[in-house]
Chain A
Amino acid sequence: MTTYNQLAGYRVNYLSTDPTLNSGNEGQVWYNSTSGTLKSLVQLKAWSAAGSLPVAKNEAGSDGTSTAGWTAGGSTGPAANTGTTATEEYSGYTWASGGNLNTARTGLGGSGFGTQTAAAVSGGYVQPGAGPTRTMYANAEEYNGSSWTSVTSMPTALNGVAQCGIQTAGLSFGGGSGYATPFVTTTLEYDGTNWTTGGSLNTAAVYQAAGIQTAGLAMQQSDTTGKGTESYNGTSWTTVANRNTARAQIVGFGTQTLATIAGGYSAGPGTPQFTETEQWDGTAWGISPASLGTATRTGMGIGTQGSGTSGLLAGGYQTNYLANTQEWNSTIFSPATGAWASGGNLNTARGGIMGEGTQTAAVAFGGDNPAPTGATELYNGTAWTNTGSMNTARGEGGAAGTQTAGLGFGGYIVPNTAATESFNGSTWTSVNSMNTARRGLGGVGLQTAALAFGGFTTARVASTESWNGTSWTTLPASMNTARDSLGSAGTQTAALAFGGFSTAVTGITESWNGSTWTSVNSMNTARYALAGAGTQTLALAFGGTSNPPITGATEQYDGTSWISSPPMSTARRDLGGAGTQTAGLAFGGGNPGALTATEEWTGTPSTGTASTLTTS
């Protein structure tokens, strides 16, 4: 029998524990002597549900990436073959409306290229009745992130034309020239101004597209014979391997050497649609074990300019028009995700509120509405209950500890305070004050081991103070960036400071190791007056203001970088935060008046997963 050593040229590692599950170990095979299993770190391929389109639609133009995609035009129902002008933009989790097309149209399935801020769409049709009367379009429009502008039309009116590339280097091919008329072999290249003719396809058909202008992939769609594939080198098309299953009205995305198609139908409208997914590796098509969650045809594929490892199927049709978004990922990591749900409302609406504890055992205290308050409330996972107030009413202070062993320090009482108070679950006791009175500071740690940093005195400061359960000590190390109204997470010896206001709104993040602050990757959304939760390496940032707007933006930190996550339902600033990256809590804040609303975050961080190999 051939051994793995003979096949691969090296032996399988014999390990008592799994290695670090990161990209550096992707493809590795090892024997775990503790569990007695042969294991490997391989890519997981899966479709998952993502945020729905605001409106059910199909046959729209689309492109971008799975974290910054767009759709434009399309049909929103049987009576709407006159098409829509609506544009939607995807953030990676939710859709928002963009600027409207100048020409309402449908029949854009597969067409469109470029990014959310530099896109183009062309062709399509409107069909007032059941046919055969159909008005075909050649006209093209470009998008700048907010509005569409009419540009040079394609030389030929087409619908269902496949497109890939970018706004200044787009590739269009195939499609139909009218109602039930022959398909075309035409290829057009767009340079941002003009359309020129490229090499003709070998087979006239409707296609889906992947790749770029000089390295395109045409994936044929037809319910009887449609499984051909052609590859474009910038000059001519070459027929390559067929797919496994003939089907029409599929979605497709990816690159010339790593593409994905899914969905469609094979026997005509009204028959069941496919969930089947096929993947192209540059040489051959294979049927993926991962299927769509919702069988779909005529949806919008997004990700033709992506890496080939992720993409979207937005909208489409099954027995009715769909608003679903389905996300494709091929990675060794499960994606970080999560969602906010409503929690019990605070009894006292307020901004500048402080808090600590967990999602099911939190304490909220202080704040402004608009005068400072010392009101304190306890959360049990369902409802807030009033308890003993702080001795010094204040807002915008620091917090550390738990629901039954808390610490409140600093804050705003015209102008600032250094007062520190200790909480035992029902009563506040004044203890030794901070060395520097300040407001809008960061605070982390425990009642007996806390850390305070940044804030505003008469100017923004970077200084750090350490609390040992009895007194505060000013530490020699300050943050690299002075700021106030920042977010914070972690412990006295392993903290994270993020966002705030320095000389401007910032997303700067710094990591504390107990003696020094080190700058690390910034948040994606710069903001201040935000809240934070979690630890130094698994943190959660939410809410705040970018001066303006007030935001509900949520980001997860994995110890290296921030990942944008679904936003809160109610955008707010000066809110309170508690909990962890997987079970967070947001409460109070302002937008624009003081709020009582609470939201609970349930998150799933990005993790690598080792697969156990079995014999068959």
Chain B
Amino acid sequence: MALFIYGTATNTGKGFFTAEDRRNFFLRGYPGDVWVIGNSEKGALWLAEKNGVEKTKAEAQAIVDAEVTAAQAAWDALPIEQKNRPGFNQRPTAITLP
């Protein structure tokens, strides 16, 4: 049995996830509206209630990768003064889903 459910769901703001949800199951948000959810009945129900679309881990990772690539391109276009700031505002790095 897989540890996590992967899916996309749009964060609609207030009430999208509650403190009770956070206590009930693992929940992490990633770029591209990707959510990693603890594989439990409550976690699966939450994704369904949010009109989420379940993805495979590979599909979810591909969405995140595309977002990171876009952010890297945006960073590459920044003025050199911002890029050169030591220890700060580094080029976005890859994100690996758990």
Contacts and interface: CB of A to CB of B under 8 A. Distances in A.
Nearest to B72: A592
B19 A80 contact: no
Interface stretch (A50-58, A237-245, A273-281): A50-58
A605 interface: no
Contacts, number: 128
Main SS at interface, chain A: loop
Interface string B69-81: 0111011001101
23 contacts: A52-B24, A52-B25, A52-B26, A97-B4, A323-B25, A339-B20, A339-B22, A340-B19, A341-B15, A342-B13, A342-B16, A456-B85, A505-B87, A547-B87, A569-B17, A569-B29, A570-B30, A571-B29, A592-B71, A592-B95, A593-B31, A593-B71, A598-B13
A593 B18 contact: no
Interface residues of B, number: 48
Contacts of A593: 31, 67, 70-71, 74
A350 to B, nearest CB: 13
A344 B18 CA distance: 12
B39 A592 contact: no
A456 B87 CA distance: 11
A380 B3 CA distance: 37
B13 A345 contact: yes
Q: How large is the interface on A (under 10, 10 to 19, 20 to 34, 35 or more residues)?
A: 35 or more
Contacts of B18: 341-342
A430 interface: no
Interface in A36-92: 49, 51-56, 76-77, 80, 84, 86, 88
A130 B36 CA distance: 34
B87 A52 contact: no
Contacts of A591: 30-31
B29 A597 contact: yes
**Which 10 pairs show the lowest CB-CB distances between chains A and B?**
A592-B92, A339-B19, A592-B71, A570-B29, A342-B16, A54-B3, A76-B1, A54-B38, A344-B13, A345-B13
B34 to A, nearest CB: 11
Interface in B41-59: 42
Contacts of B28: 552, 569-571
Among B3, B21, B30, B70, the most chain A Cβ lie within 10 Å of the Cβ of B3
Among B29, B71, B85, the most chain A Cβ lie within 10 Å of the Cβ of B29
